[in-house]
Structure 1
Amino acid sequence: MIFVIDVGNTTMTMGVFDKDEIKAKFRLTTQINRTSDEYGLYLADLLTLKGISIDDIETVVISSVVPRVMYSLVSGIKKYIGITPLILGVGAKTGIKIPIPNPKEVGADRVADAVGAYEIYGGPVLVADFGTANKYDLITEDGSLIAAVTCPGLKMSANAMWSGTAKLPEVEIALPDTILAKDTVTSMQAGLVFGCIGQTEYIIKRMLKEAGLDKCTVVATGGLGRIIANNTDVIDIYDPNLLLKGLKFIADKNRVK
Structure 2
Amino acid sequence: MLLAIDIENKITNVGIFENKKLIGNFEITTDKNKSIDEIYLILKLMLMDKEIKFSDIDHVIISTVVPELLESYSKISQKITNKNPIIISPGVKTGINIKCENPKEVGTDRIIRAVGASDFYDKNIIIISASTITTIDYINDKKEFLGGVILPGIDLFEKALHQESAKLPQVEILRPNKILGNNTTKSIQSGIFHAYQNACWGIIENIIDERKLKNEKPEIIITGKYANFLANDSSKQIPSLGLIGLGKVFEINKEK
TM class, shorter-chain normalised? over 0.9
Q: Quick check: 1:220 aligned with 2:219?
A: no
Bigger Cα displacement from structure 2, 135-144 vs 70-79: 70-79
Residues 11-45 of structure 1: per-residue CA shift (max 9 Å, x gap)? 11111111243222111111111111111111122
Q: Which residue in 2 is equivalent to 1:255?
A: 254
Tell me how large the CA RMSD over aligned residues is. 1.5
Shift of 1:209: 1.2
CA contact (8 A) 2:99 2:147 kept: no
Q: Which residue in 2 is equivalent to 1:2?
A: 2
Report the secondary structure of 2:16's partner residue. Answer: strand
Following the alignment from structure 2 to structure 1, what is the Cα–Cα distance between the partners of residues 82 and 48?
A: 15
User: What residue identity is the alignment partner of 2:56?
Assistant: D
Shift of 1:65: 0.9
Q: Quick check: 1:69 aligned with 2:69?
A: yes
Shift of 1:176: 1.3
Shift of 1:121: 1.7
Following the alignment from structure 1 to structure 2, what is the Cα–Cα distance between the partners of residues 255 and 104?
A: 22
Following the alignment from structure 2 to structure 1, what is the Cα–Cα distance between the partners of residues 219 and 52?
A: 35
Residues 142-176 of structure 1: per-residue CA shift (max 9 Å, x gap)? 10001211111111221111122211222111111
Following the alignment from structure 2 to structure 1, what is the Cα–Cα distance between the partners of residues 255 and 65?
A: 21
Q: Quick check: 1:25 aligned with 2:21?
A: no
CA contact (8 A) 1:40 1:79 kept: no
Q: Which residue in 2 is equivalent to 1:106?
A: 106
Report the secondary structure of 2:98's partner residue. Answer: coil
Following the alignment from structure 2 to structure 1, what is the Cα–Cα distance between the partners of residues 121 and 210?
A: 22
Following the alignment from structure 1 to structure 2, what is the Cα–Cα distance between the partners of residues 123 and 57?
A: 34
User: What residue identity is the alignment partner of 1:254?
Assistant: N
CA contact (8 A) 2:6 2:64 kept: yes
Shift of 1:177: 1.4
Report the secondary structure of 1:146's partner residue. Answer: strand
Shift of 1:256: 5.2
Following the alignment from structure 1 to structure 2, what is the Cα–Cα distance between the partners of residues 83 and 173?
A: 43
Report the secondary structure of 1:247's partner residue. Answer: helix
User: Structure 1 residues 81, 58: CA separation in 2 closer, same or farther (over 3 Å shift)?
Assistant: closer
The alignment's TM-score, normalised by the length of structure 1, stands at 0.94
5 Å-filtered alignment, 1:1-257, equals: 1-213=1-213, 214=215, 215-229=217-231, 232-233=232-233, 235-255=234-254
Shift of 1:118: 0.6
Following the alignment from structure 2 to structure 1, what is the Cα–Cα distance between the partners of residues 43 and 83?
A: 13
CA contact (8 A) 1:44 1:81 kept: no
Following the alignment from structure 1 to structure 2, what is the Cα–Cα distance between the partners of residues 112 and 252?
A: 13
Following the alignment from structure 1 to structure 2, what is the Cα–Cα distance between the partners of residues 170 and 82?
A: 48
CA contact (8 A) 1:5 1:12 kept: yes
Following the alignment from structure 2 to structure 1, what is the Cα–Cα distance between the partners of residues 100 and 137?
A: 13
Shift of 1:76: 2.4
Following the alignment from structure 2 to structure 1, what is the Cα–Cα distance between the partners of residues 156 and 92?
A: 31
CA contact (8 A) 1:39 1:77 kept: no
Report the secondary structure of 1:13's partner residue. Answer: strand
Following the alignment from structure 1 to structure 2, what is the Cα–Cα distance between the partners of residues 81 and 169?
A: 49
Shift of 1:80: 4.1
Unaligned stretches of 5+ residues in structure 2: none
